[in-house]
Amino acid sequence: MMTRHKRRKASFLVSFVAAAATAYPAQAESAAKNPWDQLPPNYQFDLRPTLNNLRHYAWHNAAYTKWFEKWWTVDGKPKPGAPPKDAMFHIYYFNNVLTRADRNSLILVYAKMAKEGLWGVVKMVKWAGNGVSMLFEPHMSQSALRTFLKKKEYGDWWFASKGNPWGMRSRFRGVQLHFRGGSFVNAHIDLNNPGDPPTGEPTGALSELFGAIRHYEEDLKARERTHTNSAVRAGLKTYGIIVPEID
């Protein structure tokens, strides 16, 4: 027989689950329908403030309003526990604006930058698309960002800035980040960055030439074919960076 204490506890749990479903759509839908809910907690924590910028994406306002009202209003009034309207755009953008390929591309760039302690420079993601590339607004000036990257052993090596106001790539070879300046900062991953070996031993241009040629052929000329999300995910795995694949 259920005691009064157990009945109260059961009633509390039912109320808690119901309130959570009302307040957060990721718990009202199955995870298969909600890519944001498939992200690890640390991914959500880091990505949330960089995507929650409805002012930048003003052209999505009407669609976002319709989506928000579906989940958090009844007859035009907020549901109990409903969050402010401007607090949930990151979920809408991630789930409904980005495609599956875009989402997976974005989190690959995020994972590599986070591993190197660089994600903190991102104030706002301005564009995220397929190709393991994104545009972002930094927390600092681009001049200050260049100084910061230099301390992280990035530099204008192997034409890193070609065609752009500035550019810096990792000094290490292999699966590495490359940044380019402009109206916003472009960050992308190259599978064949020319540079020094993982041991850190400095090498000269002659010993890096083969890698530079491969970088040109595969990272630039054939990028659409070679830099698939699955290929970059596998490449990052060899560095111990395990990135989930989401819907």
List the domain boundaries for the chain: 1-98, 99-247
* Of residues 129, 139, 135, 84, the one with CA closest to residue 105: 129
Residue 63 phi/psi, 5-degree rounding, is -65, -40
Helix axes 100-115, 41-51, angle to 10 degrees: 100
**Per residue in 204-223, pLDDT tens?**
665 665 566 666 666 666 67
The candidate with the shortest Cα–Cα distance to 121, out of 154, 98, 99, is 154
Q: Which two tokens stand for residue 47?
A: 């990505």
Distance CA 113, CA 242 (A): 13
Q: Say how many residues make up the chain.
A: 247
pTM of the model: 0.82
DSSP 219-241: IIITHHHH--HHHHHHHHHTTT-
Q: How far apart are CA 114 and CA 134, in angstroms?
A: 14
One pLDDT digit (tens) per residue for the chain, 247 residues: 444 444 444 443 333 333 333 345 554 444 446 999 999 999 999 999 999 887 777 888 899 999 999 999 998 899 999 999 889 999 999 999 999 999 999 999 999 999 999 999 999 999 998 889 999 999 999 999 999 999 999 988 767 788 889 999 888 878 999 999 999 999 999 888 776 667 666 666 656 655 666 666 666 666 787 789 999 999 999 999 999 999 9
* Token pair of 245 as six digits: 């694949």
